[in-house]
A = this chain, B = another copy of it.
């Protein structure tokens, strides 16, 4: 356990946190000025391998890192400003995919992304 890894973990702590690697680096630098981007990328990659952090790709910009790996959830994204909220829909989308629509795949996971406009952007 190094100071760098501790700082990355600290930055990722919280709810509805979905930061890019660069944002993580920017915040990490304020606590440990000489931490490098490479180390942030390395550490994030390890946390993802360990299953402690999830990669979220809600758009085609930079990947985002999600510390909420404990409880499975989906995402609600503002199409205008990119704000992301964790959501927990009812129902099981896996059950909604009939065998005839599985093409012989072994389906193990499903990812749901809701899109819309957040209250902030709607009022502007």
Q: Are A108 and B115 in contact (CB under 8 A)?
A: yes
Given A59-B57, A88-B101, A97-B89, A109 and B118 touching (CB < 8 A)?
A: no
Q: Is A102 an interface residue (CB 8 A)?
A: yes
Q: How far is the CA of A2 from the CA of B122 in the complex (A)?
A: 40
Contacts of A90 in B (CB 8 A): 96, 98
Q: Write the A80-98 contact mask toward B (1 if CB under 8 angstroms, else 0).
A: 0000010111110110111
Minimum CB–CB distance for A48 against chain B, Å: 12
Using a CB–CB cutoff of 8 Å, the interface residues on chain A facing chain B are: 55, 57, 59-60, 63, 76, 78-79, 85, 87-91, 93-94, 96-98, 101-119, 122
